[in-house]
Structure 1
Amino acid sequence: MFKNSHQKKTEAHSIFTPADGSFVSLETVPDPIFSNKLVGEGFAVDPSNGIIVSPVTGEVTHISQTNHVMTIRNAEDIDVLIHIGLETASLKGEPFKALVQMGQSVKKGEPLIDFNLTYLKDNAYSPLILVILPNIKNKNYSIIWQDEVTLVAGETKILSVVER
């Protein structure tokens, strides 16, 4: 019985990729705000298509006016911020369509945002999808990373957040 309880807790603390593509280390992202982890710990995805899915089961707590930033909070109050592309606020929402609403409950793997990847590549500084955990810095958590290169949205576990 203890084993099942532990497995559920571990799954709840797992963060999956929100996009198909290739793993990119946050330190290599061409934006010092993200690469220096000023917003928080995380990773990036070089996307292969224009679908973003929820990396966790939780609640949508933030959607930017331009639909290029969204935050999902899981049951353990871990926020997962998804930021699509670099310098994309200037696109004024053009390639992004939110498929969910603020306050909505979502399941891991559920579609969140649809966007035109070709438009993003042609008009943004970078199409990288950033996945940031902004609120674990002030909590007693450690991150256990998985070794992944090719990512499948909603299926590939990237990291686990564990209590110290």
Structure 2
Amino acid sequence: MFKKLFNKSKKVELLAPLTGKVVALEDVPDPVFGQKMMGEGIAITPENGKVVAPVDATIVQIPETKHAIGMRTNDGVEILIHVGLETVGLKGEGFNILVKEGEKVAAGQIVMEFDLNYIRENAENTVTPMVITNSKELDQSIQLTNEKQCEAGKTSLLTLS
């Protein structure tokens, strides 16, 4: 289904959803992300508690536990931003979602805030994966950045072409 939605002639660039240190997905200490079971992507060790939309998209999923946010571009690229590891167990504590499911967002728009110190103290890790959950279906080339640091809404991290 998503292959039909994706406009292969259009390049899709995903900006950093957070400011911080860029981490290869393979280096995320969680097999679901590190072994790319959820899809291709990249991760960030955050320096602050603001998450922005990496691209113009529609919000398609906000779990009750508020620890993640799912979105889809008009071209059918599905993106998941998962704040920290084992944060589902925090049951929403420390997270503030600023958007609703079905809402259209612009690249760079703040979509979530979280208490970074609370996450540091109560979760396994603060590393935050951003994955393209339908990357296997898209049949697109994905280029990852070589940047070591990124700025939310400004640094290009992934390009699909």
TM-score, scaled relative to structure 1 = 0.91
Residues 124-163 of structure 1: matches in 2 within 5 Å?
124-162=123-161
Unmatched 5+ stretches in structure 2: 1-8
Pairs within 5 Å for 1:1-164: 9-10=10-11, 13-162=12-161
Q: Percent same amino acid at aligned positions?
A: 37
For the aligned residue pairs, the C-alpha RMSD in angstroms reads 1.1
Alpha-carbon distance, 1:77 to partner: 0.5
CA–CA separation in structure 1 for the residues paired with 2:155 and 2:21:
11
Higher relative CO (Cα under 8 Å, sequence separation at least 6) belongs to: 2
Shift of 1:139: 2.2
CA contact 1:56–1:72 (8 Å) conserved in 2: no
One-letter identity of the residue aligned with 1:53: V
- Cα distance between partner residues in 2 of 1:140 and 1:90: 34
How many residue pairs were aligned? 153
| Distance of 2:112 and 2:153 partners within structure 1 | 13
Identify unmatched segments of 5+ residues in structure 1: 1-7
2:137 is paired with a residue whose SS is: coil
Structure 2 counterpart of 1:145, one-letter code? L
Residues 57-104 of structure 1: per-residue CA shift (max 9 Å, x gap) = 010000010111111111110011000010111101000000000000
C-alpha separation in 2, matches of 1:26 and 1:44: 6
Contact 1:63 1:102 in 2 (8 A): yes
**Which protein is bigger by CA-based radius of gyration?**
1
Q: Separation in 1 of the partners of 2:102 and 2:72?
A: 10
Aligned equivalents of 2:24, 2:135: Cα separation in 1: 18
Distance in 1, matches of 2:24 and 2:34, equals: 8
